[in-house]
């Protein structure tokens, strides 16, 4: 059975300072051991959670995507996280899954956080994206998507093995963050990765990290704490298959389809 080693980088994102954030991350990524395979970065890792979409947006040929392509090839890791992208006159909070061979996949955030006017400055995504690596299927999602279990839900037989959320989730609502990450693991019988930022942003919002890896039963396997930190974990497929065979709860789930 295959294993998969993933590192989560929790850090204090410098506000709208792309070059500074990329330099910081480059140093961290290139120091990871050669056995590492995936690096997960927070939501809007190059700018912070800014609503200044027009002044911070890049194209898919811009600085950050080019950096991801270069660092992925150089380190041998898949690099994933979300950035602000403009395309055909629209703006997206876009998660990019960049592979060392330069092939990438994109997921545009479906649920826009109206409480912070994200819906007024960005366009919603229209489809889910499930990637595959070494026999592992990973469902790519962003922050506020965590609150919507129907969008995250998988059918039987299993569509994915890991739910992955990149976020800027404030300390004020961190209880919901922790609770929902564990709940998504339990109801979907999967591992869940949740990567958050830490520090205080330009809007004086405080983020206390708590990046988490949750097991198939909702147990917290790893927690990054409140400050800048990197946590690494190796997933083992046998753990997943044994649990699903022992407790085949999804066989009894209601069937439904999501229509976009």
Catalytically active residues, by annotation: 43, 109, 143
Nearest in space to 53 (alpha carbons), one of 82, 80, 83: 83
214 and 201 in contact (C-beta within 8 Å)? no
3-state helix, strand, coil in the chain (%, to 5): 30, 30, 40
The span from the CA of 20 to the CA of 79, in Å, is 18
Task: List Cα–Cα distances, 80 to 19, 23, 165, 191, in angstroms.
Answer: 17, 16, 10, 17
Length of the chain: 260
Task: List Cα–Cα distances, 52 to 12, 44, 211, in angstroms.
Answer: 19, 12, 25
């Amino acid at each position: 059975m295959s294993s998969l080693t993933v590192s989560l980088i929790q850090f204090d994102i410098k506000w709208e300072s792309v070059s500074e954030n990329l330099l910081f991350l480059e140093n961290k990524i290139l120091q990871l051991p050669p056995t590492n395979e995936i690096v997960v970065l927070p939501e809007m890792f190059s700018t912070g959670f800014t609503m200044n979409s027009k002044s911070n947006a890049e194209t898919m040929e811009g600085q950050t995507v080019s950096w991801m392509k270069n660092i992925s090839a150089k380190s041998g890791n898949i690099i994933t996280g979300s950035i602000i992208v403009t395309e055909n006159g629209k703006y997206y909070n876009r998660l990019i899954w960049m592979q060392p061979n330069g092939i990438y996949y994109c997921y545009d955030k479906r649920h826009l956080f109206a409480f912070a006017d994200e819906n007024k400055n960005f366009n919603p995504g229209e489809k889910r994206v499930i990637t595959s690596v070494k026999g592992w299927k990973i469902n790519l999602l962003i922050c506020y998507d965590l609150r919507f279990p129907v969008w995250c839900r998988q059918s039987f037989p299993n569509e994915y093995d890991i739910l992955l959320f990149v976020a800027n989730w404030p300390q004020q609502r961190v209880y919901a963050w922790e609770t929902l990450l564990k709940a998504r693991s339990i109801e979907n019988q999967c591992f869940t990765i949740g990567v958050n930022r830490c520090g205080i942003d330009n809007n004086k919002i405080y983020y206390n990290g708590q990046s988490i890896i949750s097991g198939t039963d909702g147990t917290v396997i790893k927690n990054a704490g409140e400050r800048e930190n990197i946590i690494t974990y190796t997933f083992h497929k046998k753990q997943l298959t044994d649990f699903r065979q022992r407790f085949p709860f999804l066989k009894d789930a209601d069937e439904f389809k999501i229509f976009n």
